[in-house]
Structure 1
Amino acid sequence: MATVCDRLVEHYQVCSLYRLQAVICHINSALACFHDALELASDQREIQHVCLYEIGWCSMIELNFEDAFRSFERLKNESRWSQCYYAYLTGVCQGASGDLDGASGVFKDVQKLFKRKNNQIEQFAVKRAERLRKMSPTRELCILGVIEVLYLWKALQNCSSSKLQIMNQVLQTLNDPSCRGLKHLLLGAIHKCHGNMRDAIQSFQLAARDEHGRQINSYVLPYAVYELGCILLAKPETVGKGRSFLLQAKEDFTGYDFENRLHVRIHSALASLKEVVPQ
C-alpha cells in the first residue's frame, strides 16, 4: 500500500508533467490533467494549491476568465504564500469576466492583504489594484490587467493565435491616456508573438515615447527599449543598434517595477549575442 509520502511524490511528478504540457501549448490537455490532479489530491493541500495555480494560469492563457477567477479566489482564501497577489489576480479575472462590482470589492481587499513590503510582486499588485479601484474598473481595463500579467510572466508566447487576436482587439479599444504606453507595449508583444516584427517595432517605439503614463507605468519605457533591442539583434545589419538599445535599457533607467527581472533578461540577451559574435 502506498504511503502518504509516496502519494505526495507521485502527485508532484504528475503535476510536473502537466506543467510541461502547458508550456508546450497543449493548454486544454494540461487543464484536463490539472483538474484530475486536483481531484486526486483531495487530502494534500499543497498539491491542490499547485494545481489551482496552474489551472488559473492556463485559464488566463485561454481567456477563460471565470475559471481563472475561481482558482485564484480559492488561493486567495486558502494559501499562505501571497494572498495580496492572488487577490489582485482574482480581481482582474473577475472583472474581465464581467463582474465589475465583485472585482471592485476584491481590489479593496488587496491593500489589506499587503504584508511583504519589500516584495516587488505585492507592491505591483497593490498599486495596480488601487488604480483600478479609483478608476472604477471596466471589463476592458481588467482584461488589460490580465494581458499585462501574462506579458510580465512571459506567458503570451503560450497563447494561441486566436486568443492573441482577441487581446489585440480589446487593446485597440482602450483610449485612456494613462495606459497608452502600456497598451502599445502589450500590442508590440502580441505582434512579436505573431511574427509581425514591423508592427511590433512601431508599437514598441510608441510605448517608448509615452510621457503621460510614465509615472503610472514606470516599467514600460525600459521594457519597450529592451524589446526593440531584442528585435534588432535578430538581423545582422542591426545587431549593433540592438545591442545599444539593450545597454540603454540596462544603464539609463532605475527604480521601476520588476527592474531585476528585466536585468536578468538583458543579461541573457547580451550573453547569447556574445556566443554568436565574440566580443
Structure 2
Amino acid sequence: MLRLKRCLLFIFMLFLIISSSQCQISCALTSFSNALDLASDQREIQHVCLYEIGWCSMIELNYTEAYRAFERLKTESRWSQCYYAYLTGVCQGATGDLEGAVAVFKDVQKLFKRKNNQIELFSIKRSEKLRSSSLSKELCSLAVIEILYLWKALPNCSTAKLQMIDDVSCLGLKNLLLGAISKCLQNTKEAIQYFHLAATDEVGGLSNSYVQPYSCYELACVLLNSPETAGKGQIFSGILTLNRLHVRIHSALASMRAAAQP
C-alpha cells in the first residue's frame, strides 16, 4: 500500500510539472521512471507511466527510449494496440532500425480493429504509406515530429530539427513542420515562408490532404499577429474545409472580432 501511495504521489507531481508554464520534460521523465519502478505490481499505473515516458521521450527526440516504452504498450496494453504499434514503428525507424520498423508497420494492419476510430485510421494510413515507400531514418523522424505537431506537443520540443527530405510527396509536410518549429521559436519571417511553401504544394497535398488547409490556418494565425498585415478579416477566406480545423478557425475569428470591438 505504501508503494502504491508513493507511486500515485509521483504521478500527481508529474502532471503538475507537465501542466506548469515552465515544463521540464527531463524532470517529468525522472518522476515517471521512478513511478514505473514503484508500480511493479500495478499494471494500469505502469501503462500510464509508459505512455508518458514515451511521449516525453518523443518530445526530447529520444527515439530509443520512446520506442522501448511504446513497444511494451503494444505488447501489454489492450487499448489501441494499433496506435501503439504505429508509434513503435516510427520511433524504431527513427533510431535507424528500418528492418524492425517495417515489421512493426505490418503489425499495424493486423491490430487494426476499430474502423470508426480516427487515431487507428490515421495509424493504418500512415503505416501503409511508410511501408510502401522507400523507408528511411529521415522519413521516420519526420513522422515522429508530425505526431508531435498534430497532438500540439511540438512547442514543448527544445531542440526540434528536421532532416533534409528529398521525397517530393513529403515536401509540403516538411515545410509545414518547419514552419511550426519556426513559429515556436518566434522566427516569424521564416515561419511565413515555410507555411506559404506548404500551402502552395499541390503535389504533396495529394498524399497528405490536411497539409494545405493546416498550412493556410497557421499562416493566417502568424499574419494576424503581425502588425503590418492589412485586411485581416479576409485572411481565412479560401481555407479548405476540414473538420478538425473548424474549432480553431472559429476560435481565432471570435478572438479577432472581440479585439475589434470598442
- 1:215 equivalent in alignment to 2:206: yes
1:22 to 18, 24, 46: 18
Deviation sequence 1:249-273 (CA, Å, 0-9, x none): 3xx324xxxx32x222223322332
Give the RMSD, CA atoms, in angstroms.
2.0
Structure 1 residue 12 displacement after superposition: 4.5
Alignment partner, residue 278 of structure 1: 261
Specify the code of the residue in structure 1 equivalent to 2:128: E
- 1:244 equivalent in alignment to 2:234: yes
> Contact 1:60–1:68 at 8 Å: present in 2 too?
yes
Measured in 2, the distance between the counterparts of 1:244 and 1:118 equals 35
Q: Percent identity?
A: 61
> Contact 2:10–2:34 at 8 Å: present in 1 too?
no
Structure 1 residue 98 displacement after superposition: 1.0
Deviation sequence 1:175-203 (CA, Å, 0-9, x none): 11111110110010011111111110010
Alpha-carbon spacing, 1:182–1:221, altered in 2? closer, same or farther (3 Å) = same
Measured in 2, the distance between the counterparts of 1:253 and 1:219 equals 10
- 1:188 equivalent in alignment to 2:179: yes
> Contact 2:90–2:144 at 8 Å: present in 1 too?
yes
Structure 1 residue 13 displacement after superposition: 5.1
Alignment partner, residue 267 of structure 1: 250
Matches within 5 A, 1:142-161: 142-160=140-158
> Contact 1:95–1:139 at 8 Å: present in 2 too?
yes
- 1:253 equivalent in alignment to 2:241: yes
1:137 to 135, 138, 146: 135
Alpha-carbon spacing, 1:43–1:277, altered in 2? closer, same or farther (3 Å) = farther
Alignment partner, residue 99 of structure 2: 101
Alignment partner, residue 56 of structure 2: 58
Alignment partner, residue 34 of structure 2: 36
Q: Give the secondary-structure state (helix, strand or coil) at the position aligned to 1:212.
A: helix
TM-score (norm 1): 0.87
> Contact 1:232–1:238 at 8 Å: present in 2 too?
yes
> Contact 2:83–2:123 at 8 Å: present in 1 too?
yes
Deviation sequence 1:1-53 (CA, Å, 0-9, x none): 76x9xx47x64553243133235330111100000011112222221111111
TM-score (norm 2): 0.92
> Contact 1:76–1:86 at 8 Å: present in 2 too?
yes
Measured in 1, the distance between the counterparts of 2:24 and 2:104 equals 31
> Contact 1:25–1:159 at 8 Å: present in 2 too?
no
Structure 1 residue 238 displacement after superposition: 2.5
Measured in 1, the distance between the counterparts of 2:48 and 2:91 equals 18
> Contact 2:7–2:36 at 8 Å: present in 1 too?
no
Gap regions ≥5 residues in structure 1: none
Structure 1 residue 244 displacement after superposition: 3.0
> Contact 1:110–1:126 at 8 Å: present in 2 too?
yes
Aligned residues: 260
- Structure 1, 140-149 or 75-84: larger mean CA deviation: 75-84
Alignment partner, residue 198 of structure 1: 189
Gap regions ≥5 residues in structure 2: none
Alignment partner, residue 169 of structure 2: 178
Q: Give the secondary-structure state (helix, strand or coil) at the position aligned to 1:80.
A: coil
- Structure 1, 36-45 or 49-58: larger mean CA deviation: 36-45
Alpha-carbon spacing, 1:263–1:239, altered in 2? closer, same or farther (3 Å) = farther
